[in-house]
Structure 1
């Protein structure tokens, strides 16, 4: 608990993981709403809505994953720089 108040431990990587899963759930709901005539693509035929829903799943999931990984990379760089700084005399 002391590390939390002194900012020695990073809390944000754990939050990014939760936001990643929330983003994936949002992408799934968006694709399902497109498929079943809610939201974007409501006026297209079923075949077109199915194609759009698949594209939303693929590219939306990929976008959420890439964005989350970019955020995590920043914290990994911080950890590695901290290790290098601790080795310096």
Structure 2
């Protein structure tokens, strides 16, 4: 509990994975509805570019959290080496 309250453990990356999959499903569903509505090409293009764009945006966000994780490891290793 202390890790969560002290921000030693980040919840946002776990939340981002859930949101990523939620948005992926919503993109596919909206593309399918567009195809059913008579806009076949627009639906296919929306699915393809929507999925790629969603992945890129979430990867850009996750880079910040991964950098934080790597910096924490570097700091821990440098503390061990200094002792």
TM-score after normalising by structure 1: 0.80
- Greater RCO (Cα-Cα under 8 Å, separation 6 or more): 1
Structure 2 unaligned spans of 5+: none
- Shift >6 Å, 4+ stretches: none
TM-score after normalising by structure 2: 0.85
Q: What is the Cα-based RMSD across aligned positions, in Å?
A: 1.3
Structure number having the greater helix percentage? 2
Aligned length, in residue pairs? 79
Post-superposition Cα deviations, 1:18-70, rounded to whole Å, max 9, x if no partner, equal 01011111101210221122xxxxxxxx4xx1111111111000111111111
